[in-house]
């Protein structure tokens, strides 16, 4: 997948910009708080259908304006060209069109442009709470197998319905009438979620081991272990979840929410025989998180046959120059990438065919 160009109007602090990109390496430079990240936020909006910085797109409308407009021109690896437009009036709903045809909303563009993004906060993949690692696996599963997106939506719908029933039961101090069908649905859909996550984890683990060897130049002992919150004995997943729901029934009735399911699961990450979250240094955790993102991109490429767009937001400052050079070479050889940094000297010389942009106060200059 290649993003050929991007048009921005009233997005964050960018009043207007029309940008044409290199199909390989794009460097976006500028001092902090000038608007570098706003460019990649606009690109990523077309990949996931939402911002990676805020839940409310109203916040992306330029302070002096009452709407934003973005337009992306892309070409798939099979040679199909397309244009996507997305705009929002402050306080309203997003208006989206694909090749001039009105779409129902941002959800309709999810999956058109596979994308992988790494920001500073992604160190939480290795160091943070289980929710970070679950979200990573779920996104990977959805990218390499699009039906998973429907699976996770259906699971969350069942979970909401079951929680509503339990909440009402707790409020009324009564047994949750009619909960058995929801138990069965949660067990079936929960088991499907776990199977998809395990498949995604196997894909990531294999590629991470390979990438650690390339990036570090040495074996890493990288390993991932899925930790089920309801099935420590390794039974049939659906049956184990059904039994877990029966065990916690009385406590759920008291608390008013579902207390068993894959939404409590975790992934343990090991590097050189030690669990990274507990024993790894900050540098090791950051490098592991970066490798996990690169492995995600590689899995998407190899499973879907379509190169994802790779976005790295100011992440090289804490890596040594040799590692930076290896990561840059890997990106240039494999993907179209977008790199932001306030210190371009950290990356060394730019590869052939690279494009460079500088941002100052929301004004974007090509070749700066």
Q: Which two tokens stand for residue 15?
A: 């009043």
Average pLDDT over residues 109-121: 87
The three-state secondary structure class of 346 is helix
Separation of alpha carbons 348 and 343, rounded Å? 10
Domain contains 262:
no
User: CA 365 to CA 28: how far, in whole Å?
Assistant: 10
Question: Does 275 map to a domain?
Answer: no
Give the pLDDT confidence score for residue 177 in this predicted structure.
Answer: 82
Q: What CATH number does the domain containing 363 carry?
A: 3.40.50.300
Return the pLDDT at 182.
95
Q: What is the mean pLDDT of residues 242-264?
A: 95
pLDDT of residue 131: 95
Which one of 106-115, 136-145, 344-353 scores highest in mean pLDDT?
136-145
Residue 90 lies in a domain: yes
pTM assigned to the model: 0.89
E strands present in 105-153: 115-118
Does residue 183 lie in a domain region? Answer: no
Q: Is 24 part of a structural domain of the chain? A: yes
Q: Is residue 34, in this structure, part of any structural domain at all?
A: yes
What's the pLDDT tens digit per position in 302-345?
A: 998 899 999 999 877 777 788 888 888 888 878 999 999 998 88
Question: Over 70: is that where the pLDDT of 186 sits?
Answer: yes
* pLDDT tens-place string over residues 259-307: 999 999 999 999 888 898 888 888 888 888 999 999 999 999 999 889 9
Domain range for 334 is: 1-114+306-368
* pLDDT above 90 for 149: no
Residue 235 belongs to some domain of the structure: no
Q: What is the per-residue pLDDT across 80-91, written as a single tens digit (0 to 9) for each?
A: 999 999 999 998
What was the pLDDT predicted at 46? 92
Please report whether residue 45 resides in a domain. Answer: yes
How many domains, the chain?
1
């Amino acid at each position: 997948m290649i993003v050929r160009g991007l048009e921005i109007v009233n997005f964050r602090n960018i009043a207007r910009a029309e940008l044409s990109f290199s199909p390989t390496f794009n460097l976006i430079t500028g001092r902090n708080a000038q608007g570098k990240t706003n460019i990649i936020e606009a690109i990523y909006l077309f990949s996931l259908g939402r911002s990676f910085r805020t839940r409310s797109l109203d916040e992306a409308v330029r302070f002096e304006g009452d709407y934003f407009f973005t337009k992306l021109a892309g070409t798939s690896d099979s040679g199909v060209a397309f244009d996507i437009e997305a705009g929002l009036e402050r306080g309203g709903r997003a208006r989206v069109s694909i090749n001039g045809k009105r779409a129902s909303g941002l959800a309709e563009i999810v999956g058109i442009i596979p994308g992988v993004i790494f920001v500073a906060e992604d160190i939480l993949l290795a160091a943070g709470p289980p929710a970070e690692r679950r979200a990573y696996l779920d996104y990977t599963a959805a990218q390499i197998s699009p039906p998973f997106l429907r699976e996770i939506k259906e699971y969350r719908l069942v979970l909401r319905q079951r929680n509503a029933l339990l909440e009402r039961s707790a409020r009324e101090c009564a047994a949750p009438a009619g909960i058995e069908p929801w138990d069965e649905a949660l067990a079936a859909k929960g088991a499907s979620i776990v199977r998809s996550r395990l498949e995604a984890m196997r894909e990531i683990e294999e590629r991470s081991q390979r990438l650690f060897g390339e990036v570090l130049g040495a074996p890493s002992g990288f390993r991932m272990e899925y930790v089920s919150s309801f099935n420590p004995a390794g039974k049939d997943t659906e049956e184990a979840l059904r039994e877990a729901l029966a065990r916690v029934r009385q406590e759920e009735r008291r608390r008013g929410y579902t207390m068993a399911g894959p939404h409590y699961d975790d992934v343990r990450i090991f590097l050189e025989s030690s669990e990274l979250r507990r024993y790894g240094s900050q540098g090791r955790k950051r490098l592991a998180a970066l490798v996990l993102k690169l492995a995600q991109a590689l899995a998407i490429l190899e499973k879907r046959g379509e190169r994802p767009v790779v976005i790295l937001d100011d992440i090289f400052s804490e890596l040594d120059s040799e590692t930076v050079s290896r990561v840059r070479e890997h990106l240039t050889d494999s993907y179209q990438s977008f790199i932001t940094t306030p210190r371009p000297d950290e990356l060394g010389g730019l590869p052939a065919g690279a494009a460079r942009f500088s941002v100052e106060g929301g004004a974007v200059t090509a070749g700066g």
